[in-house]
Amino acid sequence: MRALYTASTGMAAQELNVQVISNNIANMRTTGYKKQRAAFQDLIYDHVRRVGAQASDQGTLIPVGVDIGGGVKTVGTPRMMGQGTLSITGNDLDVAIRGEGFFKIQMPDGTFTYTRDGTFSMDNQGRIVNAQGNLVQPTITVPTASSQLTINAAGQVSVIVPGTTTPTILGSIGLTRFINKAGLMPIGDNLFVETPASGTPQDGTANLDGFGDMQQRNLEQANVEVVTEISDLIAAQRAYEMNAKVISAADQMLQSTSGMFR
């Protein structure tokens, strides 16, 4: 019976939907995390009676066809790149982006990744790095024994070096944006890599030309809305249960049909 297969696709789709929702909820406290949603489309139809086909020799047309659907398929899990709320940390090297852009990170193999996670620190050479120890771009080295590290809205890093009273500018943390930021591919550790769908990276300066500004001593929280996720979870569970009931009903119908021919 076709209904068994159709309902099974619905159960598989809702199982994936629950997986996406559970990942959102699991990352609700992950810095810079961007939530996902499951997107579905209906499967190809069996056109038993095509709408608009000729119904008689006189040229009358069928006004309504008979189309039997094959179920549902998952077409993607697009990522929602909306702004998360900013949380004050008080750490001098914590930086949040308010608006467009990603921090650019150089990996050990020389390639670049991108992130909204501004949880930075210094390595043993005084260079500003991310949580995995990879260099934030452009590379900025903080002199030994310097004090009063400041990162302004444009990403400019300055300190007071020993023997001086005026700030010394060390460089600026850059930002990168993409035409289609939802096309970036996540690789874990709060990092993304460019893809043909994202477009080429466009490097720039914070607080200029449409790029967002930087907020020192702040971190961007995940843009997960707990109430929405719980509501979506309940809806997915109900949809799964309904598809399971269809399978049960179809099975009972098959049993009844089989019993008639015994």
Bridge partners, residue 105, by sequence: 113, 136
pLDDT band at 232 (very low <50, low <70, confident <90, very high): very high
Q: Which helix (H) or strand (E) holds 150?
A: strand 147-151
- Residue 259: is its pLDDT beyond 70? no
Check residues 254 and 103 and name the one with the higher pLDDT.
103
How many other C-beta atoms are found inside a 10 Å radius of the C-beta of residue 255?
9
Answer positive or negative: Cα dihedral of 81, 138, 147, 160: negative
pLDDT digits (tens, 9 = 90+) for 70-109: 899 999 999 999 999 999 999 999 999 999 999 999 999 9
pLDDT digits (tens, 9 = 90+) for 144-159: 989 999 999 999 999 9
- Residue 29: is its pLDDT beyond 90? yes
The tokens describing 231, both together, are 């509501």
- Residue 1: is its pLDDT beyond 70? no
What would the mean pLDDT of 35-56 be, rounded to a whole number?
83
Give this prediction's pTM. Answer: 0.86
Average pLDDT, the chain: 91
